[in-house]
Every structure is written in C-alpha cells, then in structure tokens.
Structure 1
Amino acid sequence: MRHGDAPTRFVEANSVRYAYRRFGAAQGVPLVFLQHFTGGLDHWDPAVTDGLGRGRPVILFDNAGVGLSGGAVPPTIEAMAGHVAAFADALGLQRFDLLGFSMGGMVAQAYAKQHSDRLRRLILVGTGPRGGDPTPYQADVAKHARGNGNLDDFLFLFFGRSEAAVAAGKAFWDRRHQRTTNLDAPIRPESIVAQVAAARDWALPKGERFADLKAIAVPTLVVNGSEDVMIPTINSFYLQQHTPGAQLILYPDAGHASHFQYPSLFVEHAGLFLDSPPPGSLA
C-alpha cells in the first residue's frame, strides 16, 4: 500500500475522532508525520512518504480540527502536542519516530519536550523554536498565504527562486495532486483562526530564550532550505545549536519545503538518520 491508495482511517481518543493514513513497510519503527499550517493528509509529497515508507511504516496524521479529524484546533502548540499524545496512545504506539514540517515541526518539538521517552528519532523540517526570529517578508508571506492556494502562491512560499527550483516546485505540485479519490477535507475557517493564534503564541519566548530545547532528549535532525521566507533559516540554526546532539542540513537554492524540492536527497538523508545506530554505539 502506498501514498496514493492508502485508505483514510479513524481512531478515537478523549471524544475526538482523528483521521490518519498508514502505509509503507509492514514492520519497523513507525514514522508519524505532522503537517504544516492549514495542511492535511493530501499536502504531503508521495515521493517523500513512499520513499521513507520503503523502510518503515508511515503514518500521516490530521490533528484535532484539521481535515477529516473531529474536535477543534486548540489555541496553543503545546495543546496540539497533547492531541499527538492522545493519538499515539489510541494507536498503541509505544515508541516511534516523529517528523514535523513547519507548524507540525513546532508541535513535534512540544511533544518531544514532554515525551522524549516515547520517541526514537525526531526530524524537524522548515520550522523554528518557540520565540524564534520572525520573517522579514511578513507582508509578502501574508499576501500569498491569503491567496487561493494556487501554484504561484505555493511556489513563492515553499520553494527557491531559481529556474531549477521553480521546476522542482511544479513537479511537486503534480505529484501532490496525483491522488484524486478518498481525499481529505479542506481546513475550516475557524480552524485557521485557531492555528494563527497558536502560531502567535509560539512566537513569544517563555523564560530564557531557547532554554526549553534542552528538554528534547532524543536524536534530532533539523532540515531546511537556505532561503526560507516563511520561517527564516536562521531558526534552523537556533534549533541545532540549542537541541542536545542535533544535526543540521541546509539544502541550497531552496525555500520552506526543501524536502519537497529535493525529495530523493531528503529521503536518502532522512533514511540514513533514521537507520543510524544509537548515539554512543560502536556499530
């Protein structure tokens, strides 16, 4: 079973019905994916999900109030992480890997701070820490984010500016839309408002700036493009510098969705990280 034909499934916890898809290898440590602002199950790149799914089970997850999941989007990132915990418990995931993209990467951080004992590996893509640097392109980002979600908006927000980067963005756009049946539901307006509130709260440091990252006691890979206009690339450096033992990869001529611009390379790098021996091992 692959990205394009995996059925949407549901599991309930604490009176919330969560939508998810599970596919890839039958055995191995599951890799749970957490999506970006307003994104759902259909916004992932099948080249990435199927690529990583060759070596492990892949689980795509709609958080509360997003897509086909029930409940309401909570107004903080930490509360969203609480739903990840409830979902993982409902599926019986005792130990798993976690990949978060953009807002999903914020949620992944919040989950890891509280539940590092449940995680084996953590991948943070195109994201930033609590209290990170804001984008200097706020007006342009807001204009394109408020657009119709068309290709031009997506290229500006997620990809590099060169001819090769634009071509890679268009190729991703085609891959993303290959699935035409059993689609996820679009995000609801009230859910977008709640996600904006959560992002604004995340922009404010609590206590000493970045000190909370020391609580992430799990091997971590941070990935971004060299020219992220959504969450400035410097934030990925902050994550690597303040998360114990974290590694950092920056892809050239790439924006917010560097893993979609370089899917084969990202799958190779992420696979190496996920399959590497535990820190301190002599293997």
Structure 2
Amino acid sequence: MPQFAVDGAALTYDDEGPRDAPDAPLVFVHGWTANRHRWDHQMAHFSGRRRVIRLDLRGHGDSTGAGVRTVAELADDVLALLDHLGVGRFVLVGHSMGGMIAQTIALAHPERVERMVLVNSIGRMTYSRGRGLLMAASTLVPYRMFVAANIQRAFAPGHPREEIREYVRASAGTPREVVMTLYGAMRAFDVLDRAGEIRTPTLMVHGYHDVQLPVRQMLRMAMAYPDAVVRVLDAGHELPVEKPAELTAVLDGFVTVKQ
C-alpha cells in the first residue's frame, strides 16, 4: 500500500491500470467515515483498461492524520496526491462527501476535470428545523451509537444486516475527532449557488431511498447545472456497495469517451 505524506497526514492510495491508456485516469473519492474499498467493484472493472486511482482520505481507512476542518482542505489533499502522481487531467468520481470534494475541485480547477460523477451527493445540505435539531442532538449520544445511527439509515430497507454491522464497525474505527469535525464540515458545505459555473460534463447518480441526502436535493442541484445527466437507482445512500454492478455500468457508459 503506497502512501503519500502531506500536511501531517500519510494518505494511503491505490494506483492501478495502464499508464499509456488513451482515456484520462479515473479518480475515486469515498465519503464520510468510509474508505477506498467502497470502490472495489469499480476498481476491478476499470483498471484492466485505464489508469484508476483511489485513496483513503486523511483519518480514514489506512490513512493517518486529522486537523482538517473543511471540505476544501480535503480537496487540497486529493490534488496534492494527483500532483505527486503526475496526473494533470482526470475524471473525478465522488461519493457523498467525496462528491462535495469533487465539486470543490471542479470549481477551483475546471481545466483539470475532464468529467465528473457525483454519487449520492449534493451541493448544499438542507433540512427542516426539526431535523436540524435532531442532527444536533445526535452528536451528544455516545460515539458508537452516533455512528451506528448514521450508517444504518444509509442503507435501503432490506439490505443484509450482517453487512450493515460490518460497515458500522469499520466506520466506528474512524477517529472521533475526524468524524465529528467532518460532520460539521458537510453541514457547512454550500456551493449550490455556484452550480451554474460548473461546465464540466457531469453525471449525477442517486439512490431513490437515500434518506441521508434525499434525491430531491440532488434534483434541485441538477436543475442548476448547465448540462447534467441524472440517473436514479433502486438503492439507499450507499450505492457503491448496495448496487455495485449497476453503478459500474452507469459509470462505464458515461466516463468512457467514444471515439
């Protein structure tokens, strides 16, 4: 597992596939409390014919480090890694918080992002006053209970409980400081008013049963994009692991540029 040191963190990443492939490298960015293995299915599918890069964000998975307070700082980590790897232009795929990172990069460096895919992601978190109070109160419960509540509701009804328990266990292994700080960072994230500036060809894939970031919020964002492609699948918030083959097929149809 190669690692890259940046600003007090050691980022673990995978860099696979042919370097001389004609298509731009694919860069996969996971979400809050997750890790790079959310993309196992996609990694296996694409790495046979093009360069594919994924990483554990700082404080997640096999990466170390903390201290990041904003989504923009996470975006800086991703760009630093890509600069280290000599990647100039790329296709960016982000899930949930990873999609927030992707939008941040596309706004700051549009010349580098050939295409972008937002999976279960939005440009602004909006919720009722009641839900806002509930979210604030949830931070007061014991840490593992807080993580479990958020991860369990991320899956659509009927997903195997054993798998959900494993994801809860893995997420609870993320340092509390990282989880709680980035929970606040996501709530503060807001680029919705700038969505019209993003000219990068963009695919938005969402789960119909997503209660974490409801599909209507994604559709609100899609209306602001000049030219967005939207796909809604029968899943919850964890599309990469709930419907891996379906998501991969949708990605393949969008990110592979036909000659």
Class of the TM-score when normalised by the shorter of the 2 chains: 0.7 to 0.9
Indicate which of 35, 38, 41 corresponds to 2:33: 38
Q: Which residue of 2 aligns with 1:101?
A: 95
The answer to whether the aligner puts 1:245 opposite 2:196 as a matched pair is no
Cα distance in 1 for partners of 2:150, 2:60 equals 21
Structure 2 regions of 5+ residues with no counterpart? none
Cα distance in 2 for partners of 1:35, 1:187 equals 13
Contact 1:22 1:59 in 2 (8 A): yes
Cα distance in 2 for partners of 1:134, 1:220 equals 25
Cα distance in 1 for partners of 2:142, 2:119 equals 21
Q: Which residue of 2 aligns with 1:4?
A: none
The answer to whether the aligner puts 1:79 opposite 2:73 as a matched pair is yes
Which amino acid is the alignment partner of residue 224 of structure 1? H
Cα distance in 2 for partners of 1:262, 1:269 equals 11
* Cα 1:214/1:146, change in 2 over 3 Å: farther
The answer to whether the aligner puts 1:220 opposite 2:220 as a matched pair is no
- 1:37 counterpart SS class: coil
- 1:147 counterpart SS class: helix
**TM-score, normalised on structure 1?**
0.75
Range 113-122 or range 44-53, more displaced: 44-53
* Cα 1:213/1:73, change in 2 over 3 Å: farther
Q: Which residue of 2 aligns with 1:18?
A: 11
Contact 2:28 2:39 in 1 (8 A): no
Contact 2:154 2:236 in 1 (8 A): yes
Which amino acid is the alignment partner of residue 155 of structure 2? F
Indicate which of 197, 207, 221 corresponds to 2:184: 197
C-alpha displacement at 1:221, in angstroms? 0.5
- 1:266 counterpart SS class: helix
The answer to whether the aligner puts 1:157 opposite 2:159 as a matched pair is no
C-alpha displacement at 1:48, in angstroms? 2.9
RMSD: 3.3
C-alpha displacement at 1:101, in angstroms? 0.6
Indicate which of 41, 48, 51 corresponds to 1:47: 41
Cα distance in 2 for partners of 1:257, 1:274 equals 20
Range 92-101 or range 55-64, more displaced: 55-64
- 2:183 counterpart SS class: helix
Structure 1 regions of 5+ residues with no counterpart? 1-7, 177-182, 278-282
Q: Which residue of 1 aligns with 2:82?
A: 88
C-alpha displacement at 1:97, in angstroms? 1.0
Cα distance in 1 for partners of 2:179, 2:77 equals 17
Q: Which residue of 1 aligns with 2:244?
A: 263
Which amino acid is the alignment partner of residue 33 of structure 2? T
C-alpha displacement at 1:194, in angstroms? 1.8
* Cα 1:14/1:144, change in 2 over 3 Å: closer
How many percent of aligned residue pairs carry the same amino acid? 25
Indicate which of 117, 123, 145 corresponds to 1:147: 145
**TM-score, normalised on structure 2?**
0.82
Cα distance in 1 for partners of 2:150, 2:8 equals 36
C-alpha displacement at 1:63, in angstroms? 2.4
Q: Which residue of 1 aligns with 2:193?
A: 211
C-alpha displacement at 1:250, in angstroms? 0.4
Matches within 5 A, 1:62-73: 62-73=56-67
